[in-house]
Amino acid sequence: MGVSGDMTSENNLADDRYRLLVESVTDYAIYMLDPSGFVSSWNPGARRFKGYQDHEIIGRHFSRFYTAEDQAAGLPARALEIASREGRFENEGWRVRKDGTRFWAHVIIDPIIHPTSGKALGYAKITRDLTERKRQEEALRRSEQSFRLLVQGVTDYAIYMLDQNGIVTNWNAGAERIKGYRPEEIIGRHFSIFYTEEDRARGDCERALASARAGGFQIEGWRLRKSGEKFWASVVIDPIHDDQGHVIGFAKITRDMTERRRSDEALQAAREALYQSQKMESLGQLTGGIAHDFNNLLNTVIGSLELLRKQVTDERLLGLIGNALKGATRGVSLTQRMLAFARKQELQPSPVNVCELVGGMADLLSRSLGPTIALETLFPKGLQPAFADPNQLELAILNLAVNARDAMPDGGKITITAKNTLVTEESRSALAPGSYVQIIVTDTGTGMDAETLAKASEPFFTTKGVGKGTGLGLPMVLGTAEQLGGSLTLQSEVGHGTTATLWLRTSEPGASVVSTEGQPSPVAASASSLAILAVDDDALILMNTVALLEDLGHTVVEANSGREALRKLEDGQPFDLIITDHAMPHMTGGQLIAEVSTRWPNIPIILATGYADTPNGLPPGVRRLGKPFWQADLQKAISEATTGANVPMGA
């Protein structure tokens, strides 16, 4: 009896300890159910979670903790049945407090079995309130879903992930739009598929991941779409770390920058074109001014030599004078090139039959090209006439042919052909829309690299060596073409020759007169003597003009300015003709002509100038004489001005 009493006391003590343990737990609802599911005990944790006091819940069925939906679905009875059959029931779900509010609970139900009889005594039920964790999980889920929707909603950026080896693991809508792959076509494949073959061969993919692994990678370059088309991409690759700081993959963001690159290139090209235009304009003004002054000097030299030749009978001296005149003639040719480059040469455009013009140049081209160069001309039927100055067009073609010859030191072939071309608004050409003739000169020479080709049309640039070229050949051709509303384009590749294409506006069909005049023959004195007023601010030019006129038998009065010329006219001395320079200080030749035409309208006038640009508003009877001029040119101009046979300057 003593032993039994002791054991009873010990059992009671243990029961008390377990009861104290359960009663002290507040973070868990720990209570018992009888075999039918009625509450038979209730701890402080249960009171805190569910809101019921002991007397309010003991003896009530535990199903009241379930939502109406779960009760209707029979979940309370199924929970007890599973606990009884399987020895344990565990799940998470919504439960209901006394006040009707819901909380997210983690529930465990264990059956209580009598240790000796094995009879079911009821169930131990442990419930934990996980509402806060559930809220956090829901917030995280919503955040992840929002982020996923955000990433998927971005279409201007390709945003996707790579594993540690560079394999694509996910794919957003922007990636599909930019690169062209659907998710099922690209997920699981290596990202090197987006790189060009050259970039893969250089190991750019591996370097990109290595750099990203070290902290990040950013670059711009060419990438490939699914179609094989290249696009210019801005690429960022960042490492993705786990909680321990280990790299577990990469986040890759790609943006299609092709349009921006094209815009940048177009802007850069526009800036380059503006710079080139400004440079050419400055050089043109400088070159044009030099050429004009040089023309004036040549005018004096040529005039003086012509007069001297008439006074000399010694053959040796005549030969020297002839050589001097030839040199002066070459100087005239050089100034014409300079003026052509400066777009300031005097042009007399008319319809030109290109086939006939080139045919008429056959002998000249053959002599210029030499025996080692084969020349072939091919012209299609129906070729429209070009609107050009025949003499300047002939010189331009000769320049292109000679340039081609110089690119073939060991001989070769030059082909000259032409075709009709239409430039439209959609052509994206610098030329104005309209009909053009292309004169194409192709050689089989050494060709040019990109750097040389870019400079080929610049003034004074030459590859022929010191003393072997002026560097004005191609600029002259370009200047002539642009002055006529056309252009010159060059295509070349090292080892594959060069093609020069001269673009000229077309004109209505008409006869083309192509002539190559040498030095005019000496002229005889005029049949009738005229009283001429010669006006020029340059004393050398004025003296030379007076000497040439007097040699022709005319009486000449000098005036070194427009105002002095007016004073002499106002003095009442009669004049049969006025010859005036244009570029004079204080009063230009154009202003003098306007004044004379108003006050003395019957006096014929010749405007002698080296500039192509003529003053606006000149009377139709004014005859133009280009500088430098030969005595024969002067005599012809006088004849036309006094007989009214000249072509009006405004025509």
Average pLDDT over residues 31-39: 93
Helical H runs in 182-257?
A: 183-186, 197-201, 204-213
Return d(Cα 454, Cα 627) in angstroms, integer. 34
Split at pLDDT 50, 70, 90, the class of 281 is: low
Token pair, residue 580, equals 């005036």
Average pLDDT over residues 74-81: 94
Return d(Cα 606, Cα 468) in angstroms, integer. 39
Q: Which residue has the tokens 């999980």?
A: 137
pLDDT, averaged across the chain: 81
Check residue 342 and give its pLDDT: 52
Percent of the chain with pLDDT over 70: 80
What are the φ/ψ torsions at residue 409 (nearest 5 degrees)?
Answer: -60, -25
Check residue 304 and give its pLDDT: 80
Check residue 282 and give its pLDDT: 61
Q: What is the pLDDT of residues 118-160, one digit of tens each?
A: 788 899 999 998 888 888 887 777 766 665 666 666 778 888 9
Question: Is 624:649 a contact under the CB 8 Å cutoff?
Answer: yes
Return d(Cα 302, Cα 627) in angstroms, integer. 11
Q: What is the pLDDT of residues 573-603, one digit of tens each?
A: 889 999 998 888 889 888 999 999 999 988 9
Check residue 524 and give its pLDDT: 52
Check residue 34 and give its pLDDT: 93
Return d(Cα 27, Cα 25) in angstroms, integer. 6
pLDDT at 467 > cutoff 60: no
Check residue 219 and give its pLDDT: 92
Token pair, residue 121, equals 């005594």
Q: What is the pLDDT of residues 380-394, one digit of tens each?
A: 888 899 888 887 788
Average pLDDT over residues 423-429: 78
Q: What is the pLDDT of residues 522-531, one digit of tens each?
A: 555 555 789 9
DSSP H/E element including 150: helix 131-153
Split at pLDDT 50, 70, 90, the class of 456 is: low
Q: Which residue has the higher pLDDT, 7 or 29?
A: 29
Check residue 232 and give its pLDDT: 94
pLDDT at 67 > cutoff 90: yes
Q: DSSP per residue over 550-566, as a string?
A: HHTT-EEEEESSHHHHH
Q: Which residue has the higher pLDDT, 342 or 189?
A: 189
Split at pLDDT 50, 70, 90, the class of 517 is: very low
By residue count, the chain amounts to 651
Check residue 187 and give its pLDDT: 93
Q: Which residue has the higher pLDDT, 643 or 167?
A: 167
What are the φ/ψ torsions at residue 380 (nearest 5 degrees)?
Answer: -75, 160
The pTM for the full model equals 0.42
Buried b (16+ CB within 10 A) or exposed e, 185-218: ebeeeebeebbeeebeeeeebeebbeebeeeebe
Average pLDDT over residues 294-305: 76
DSSP H/E element including 514: none
Cis peptide before 371 (omega within 30 of 0): no
What are the φ/ψ torsions at residue 34 (nearest 5 degrees)?
Answer: -75, 175
Split at pLDDT 50, 70, 90, the class of 516 is: very low
Percent of the chain with pLDDT over 90: 34
Check residue 273 and give its pLDDT: 65
Split at pLDDT 50, 70, 90, the class of 427 is: confident
Nearest CA-CA partner of 456 in 410, 406, 413: 406
Nearest 10 degrees: Cα torsion 472, 478, 481, 486: 180
DSSP H/E element including 29: strand 29-33
Q: What is the pLDDT of residues 177-217, one digit of tens each?
A: 999 999 999 999 999 999 999 999 999 999 999 999 998 89
pLDDT at 649 > cutoff 60: no
Split at pLDDT 50, 70, 90, the class of 477 is: confident
**Cβ neighbours around 373 below 10 Å, total:** 20
Check residue 515 and give its pLDDT: 38
Return d(Cα 197, Cα 224) in angstroms, integer. 10
Return d(Cα 374, Cα 359) in angstroms, integer. 15
Check residue 619 and give its pLDDT: 78
DSSP state, residue 427:
G
Check residue 6 and give its pLDDT: 54
Q: Which residue has the tokens 């377990």?
A: 18
Check residue 178 and give its pLDDT: 92
Return d(Cα 552, Cα 534) in angstroms, integer. 14
